[in-house]
Structure 1
Amino acid sequence: MNLQRLRQIQPYLWTLPLQPGEKRGEVLLYGSAPLLESMDDKVLEQIAHVAALPGLVGAAMTMPDAHWGYGFPIGGVAAFDAERGGVISAGGVGFDISCGIRSLRSNMRLQDVTPKLATLADRLFQTIPAGVGEEGALKLDPKQLDQVLLGGAHWAVQQGYGNEADLDYIEERGCVAGAIPANVSELAKKRQRGEMGTLGSGNHYLEVQVVDRIFDEAAAQAYGLQEGQIVISIHCGSRGLGHQIGTDYLVMLAKAASRCGIHLPDRELACAPINSPEGQQYLGAMHAAINCALANRQILTHLTRETFREIFPASKLETLFDVSHNTCKQEHHVIDGQSRLLYVHRKGATRAFGPEHAMLPKRYRAVGQPVIIGGSMGTGSYVLAGNSGNSAFASASHGAGRALSRRQASARWQGKQLIGELAQQGILIRTRSMRGVAEEAPGAYKDVDSVAEATEQAGLARRVAFLRPKVCVKG
């Protein structure tokens, strides 16, 4: 990205000045100069197009890990007011609806698991279904799947997957209201009936990690984290159902935009007024997909616990937090001194509520919401805490963010060689796809340390702990 096109407002905050005759809202970009320079110019083009959509409140924004995606850039944030003509866009949510990370803290320490680390890696790989189209043992009939789409993680707990205590540490307590299974196509449901409790492919993973460094002792204590402790992170979403919903609604939303006279600067930004029939229909389907993802991660949590207990009978895994990063959430935010209900699109961005927010569990209320910035096999991940002064509608980075496309990565690296190199670093990879490993090579992503530091310096969230990978299960 050419920084000469930008104007720096603060050390970690930039804006794209309006050109003569240009009609759009404000554009803000969070990050350091090196991070922004590493981004494709397409990011700037896409977020400027987002800023031209009707009903935008405040600015259209990118997080420090941004890279270009479908419609919205990944790492894009934008809020809209339904009462002022605001829109909802499938491109602003993403195809893998409610993709997110569930992190589990354990009572195990690195020295406890090291002697059986390879055994643990093998058993997790055998237990956790992962890969393109991979199905699990759970097969749902249409009625059961509709119950999943309505109940989310609550449904999973009721079926014996985990416990009630997990729900306190999941966004929306594990179930978002307003899901309408009837708005989900039969094809989307068919794709999902065998995919509950599965990891998927691409950048999804299950990692066994060790807390390597603590940055904020008070927040770490509240989160129950300490150096040398084993943590497990599960990164996945709504699988085939969410992808199909995204595909199904693109055409409908594009037609709605045309019917309502909405000019689309990019056809990938297909959208509809939130209060239109099409907007409400998409919302009902999207909420169903969010519940699907929350249930999916809850089932995977249960499978992970069972695997740990098989090898380490005294192990105990508690949910640290579960946060999504491909959603549109209805939230109240103070704008010009007044509380307004906004529809906040976060595509590849994480909600990051600050201390004392009413939606936080009591245990975390004094320090703020846990924020997970996921790494890429060999690079480590971060746990951060949300800040009260967050100026991006309580949003933060969700991961390192791609620096190279999957095609570029697979041309540069070989999966088998990468697995060997990571093993020499003490990181065990288990996968069904060598090409998938190459596509997700650590070098294909931005430097996660720089992203986490920039997220902190920009005031979005503050670093609490660095997690170093020990085992990574991928599709």
Structure 2
Amino acid sequence: MKQQPLIRRDEFEWELSMTGDMRVPGRVFASERIMREMDPGALRQVAEVACLPGIVRASLAMPDAHAGYGFPIGGVAAFDPDDGGVVSAGGVGFDIACGVRTLHTGLTRDDILSAQERLADALLEAVPCGVGKGGDIVLSGDELDDMLTRGAAWAVSRGCGRQEDLERIEDRGTVRGATPGEVSAEAKKRIRNQVGSLGSGNHYLEVQYAAEILDPEKAAVFGIAEGDAFVSIHCGSRGLGHQIGTDYLAQMAPKGKKKKVRLNAPNRQLANAPIRSELGKRYLGAMRCGMNCALANRQVIAHLVRRAFADAFPNADLSLLYDVSHNTCKSEEHEVDGRKRTLFVHRKGATRSFPPGHPSLPVDIREAGQPVLIGGSMGSASYILAGTEAAMQKSFGSANHGAGRSLSRTDAKKLFKGRDIAETLRHQGVIVRSRNIKSIAEEAPGAYKESSDVVTSATGAGLARPVARLMPLVCVKG
């Protein structure tokens, strides 16, 4: 598809006009600087997503967008089942419900610095991490299906966490409509010993502190003060999510001359199924199992983190601030053209950003809006933002999920050496621990966009409000 010129709508919003088979325009939320450096492949994918049946209003890209499989990473699109809307496995991604969980610690930066090395070692020992690495929980049969059906609530019932944790998790820890019978035996096999493990790639466990309060009123509602220490966990559904994506992509776009399929999409990576078709329903049921798996995984990891902290800091209290996923497709009610409609919102590398007063939010923080958790890289800032009403109007209640890559993993490994990065970060006051030194090179801070630039674009576009800037102290990588 030929890429069309971008029209600047305002300081932080750009439009790709409708051409060819596009059913809606494309919209990109970014500053002029980020737009100049935007991956052309991501913009092409924005236009391709705009061709899918039943898409509503626009095909969207967040400021951290870069090319992915089918959808751009940082892409958002909503589909109306009453208008032939579709669900796309490529629009959810392979790491289903990868997300971020941030916990208070009841400690300060100075407390962490007093035992920084010891805490880093304890966390690496406590939380299994790395490619294919599993944990102590081994699941099969009915218990595995129970985990896929109940998510974080299953983990709490096993003693991994607190009942009050569930109030601070998107969907209160359990995604409804999960159907384990639609998950393949191979997918279940891949998760049987992986719940409670971090994985590899861009997944991390990070101890951070609030370096700057950007909105004192909202920070007070969230319980954040300058100097407070936090723990953030970034991971997803491990091998199960990847296998679900693989299985259903093959069904949405079967290969072979005997199976001629009209894709209703510009390319095979955007293969899809009507939401109300049998295949669409089966994928949604399996995908929701992947979402519950990710919620259970982060719940168990949080339990392991609490135990590691208890050894180093007996008085620490790791209460949950919030847990929110990216890489999802969710049925939500949104107002379009003055009418409320039930839409299926794909967020791939994008996170929810619901406004103050939204009924899905925990009662005790509802007045401030949803905590929007933005991950940085090992040496750069992460952010806590708050959802806005403008996001509901502009982006179906969505914002970016992180800084966004500027270099591929292959290119990063050519430019950086893991040991050099770890040593540089040590001099900057950040202790890095990893089972695989090469993974540090892949995830070097220089391989990512500057998180502050991305956040400025998101907040400038009105997709979220800045609440606090967090800086890393300890980072555990797979």
User: Residues 454 and 374 from structure 1, CA distance in 2 versus in 1: closer, same or farther, beyond 3 angstroms?
Assistant: same
Shift of 1:3: 11
The amino acid across from 1:374 in the alignment is: G
Distance 2:141 2:377 in 1: 36
Distance 1:111 1:438 in 2: 29
Note if contact 1:102-1:235 (Cα within 8 Å) is conserved in structure 2: yes
Shift of 1:18: 2.9
Distance 2:21 2:335 in 1: 28
1:10 matched residue in structure 2:
10
Query: The residue matched to 2:389 in structure 1 has which SS?
Result: coil
Shift of 1:47: 0.9
The amino acid across from 2:99 in the alignment is: G
Superposition pairs of residues 50-69 of structure 1, within 5 angstroms: 50-69=49-68
1:462 is aligned, of 449, 454, 465, to: 465
1:371 matched residue in structure 2:
372
Distance 1:305 1:294 in 2: 17
Note if contact 1:47-1:73 (Cα within 8 Å) is conserved in structure 2: yes
Distance 2:21 2:107 in 1: 57
2:122 matched residue in structure 1:
123
The amino acid across from 2:455 in the alignment is: A
2:402 is aligned, of 399, 404, 412, to: 399
User: Residues 263 and 358 from structure 1, CA distance in 2 versus in 1: closer, same or farther, beyond 3 angstroms?
Assistant: same
Query: The residue matched to 1:213 in structure 2 has which SS?
Result: strand
Note if contact 2:77-2:347 (Cα within 8 Å) is conserved in structure 1: yes
Note if contact 1:3-1:37 (Cα within 8 Å) is conserved in structure 2: no
Note if contact 1:105-1:320 (Cα within 8 Å) is conserved in structure 2: yes
Shift of 1:338: 1.1
1:272 matched residue in structure 2:
273
Shift of 1:165: 0.5
1:345 matched residue in structure 2:
346
2:428 matched residue in structure 1:
425
Superposition pairs of residues 296-315 of structure 1, within 5 angstroms: 296-315=297-316
2:88 matched residue in structure 1:
89
Shift of 1:24: 2.8
1:415 is aligned, of 418, 428, 435, to: 418
Gaps of 5+ in 2: none
Give the RMSD, CA atoms, in angstroms.
1.4
Distance 2:170 2:314 in 1: 29
Which deviates further from its counterpart, 429-438 or 21-30?
A: 21-30
1:228 matched residue in structure 2:
227
2:445 matched residue in structure 1:
442
Distance 1:238 1:333 in 2: 27
Deviation readout 1:208-239 (Å, 9 max, x if unpaired): 00100000011100111011100000000000
Note if contact 1:24-1:48 (Cα within 8 Å) is conserved in structure 2: no
Note if contact 1:92-1:346 (Cα within 8 Å) is conserved in structure 2: yes
Note if contact 2:376-2:403 (Cα within 8 Å) is conserved in structure 1: yes
1:252 matched residue in structure 2:
251
Distance 1:32 1:91 in 2: 27
Deviation readout 1:361-409 (Å, 9 max, x if unpaired): 1112111000011011001200000011211000001000000000000
Distance 1:90 1:262 in 2: 13
Note if contact 1:254-1:272 (Cα within 8 Å) is conserved in structure 2: no
Shift of 1:85: 0.2
Number of equivalenced pairs: 472
Shift of 1:157: 0.4
Distance 1:347 1:413 in 2: 28
The amino acid across from 1:16 in the alignment is: L
Distance 1:275 1:384 in 2: 35
The amino acid across from 2:91 in the alignment is: G
1:177 matched residue in structure 2:
176
User: Residues 4 and 246 from structure 1, CA distance in 2 versus in 1: closer, same or farther, beyond 3 angstroms?
Assistant: closer
Query: The residue matched to 1:248 in structure 2 has which SS?
Result: helix
1:453 matched residue in structure 2:
456
Distance 2:285 2:97 in 1: 14
Gaps of 5+ in 1: none
Distance 2:88 2:128 in 1: 31
Distance 2:140 2:289 in 1: 16
2:282 matched residue in structure 1:
281
Which deviates further from its counterpart, 359-368 or 443-452?
A: 359-368
Query: The residue matched to 1:168 in structure 2 has which SS?
Result: helix
User: Residues 22 and 291 from structure 1, CA distance in 2 versus in 1: closer, same or farther, beyond 3 angstroms?
Assistant: closer
Shift of 1:111: 1.4
Distance 1:109 1:23 in 2: 51
Note if contact 1:253-1:270 (Cα within 8 Å) is conserved in structure 2: yes
Normalising by structure 2, what TM-score? 0.97
Distance 1:295 1:76 in 2: 25
Query: The residue matched to 2:168 in structure 1 has which SS?
Result: coil
Distance 2:416 2:409 in 1: 10
Shift of 1:122: 0.2
The amino acid across from 1:64 in the alignment is: P
Structure 1 runs of 4+ aligned residues shifted over 6 Å read: none
Distance 1:261 1:209 in 2: 49
Note if contact 1:3-1:36 (Cα within 8 Å) is conserved in structure 2: no
1:328 matched residue in structure 2:
329
The amino acid across from 1:150 in the alignment is: T
Query: The residue matched to 1:385 in structure 2 has which SS?
Result: strand
Distance 2:460 2:224 in 1: 22
Query: The residue matched to 1:57 in structure 2 has which SS?
Result: coil
Distance 2:356 2:261 in 1: 40
Distance 2:265 2:114 in 1: 57
Query: The residue matched to 1:409 in structure 2 has which SS?
Result: helix
Distance 1:106 1:165 in 2: 16
Shift of 1:263: 2.6
Distance 1:275 1:220 in 2: 42
The amino acid across from 1:7 in the alignment is: I
Note if contact 2:4-2:17 (Cα within 8 Å) is conserved in structure 1: no
Note if contact 1:196-1:296 (Cα within 8 Å) is conserved in structure 2: yes
Distance 1:65 1:52 in 2: 22
Distance 1:241 1:57 in 2: 30
1:145 matched residue in structure 2:
144
Distance 1:239 1:392 in 2: 28
The amino acid across from 1:411 in the alignment is: K
Shift of 1:260: 7.6
Query: The residue matched to 1:399 in structure 2 has which SS?
Result: coil
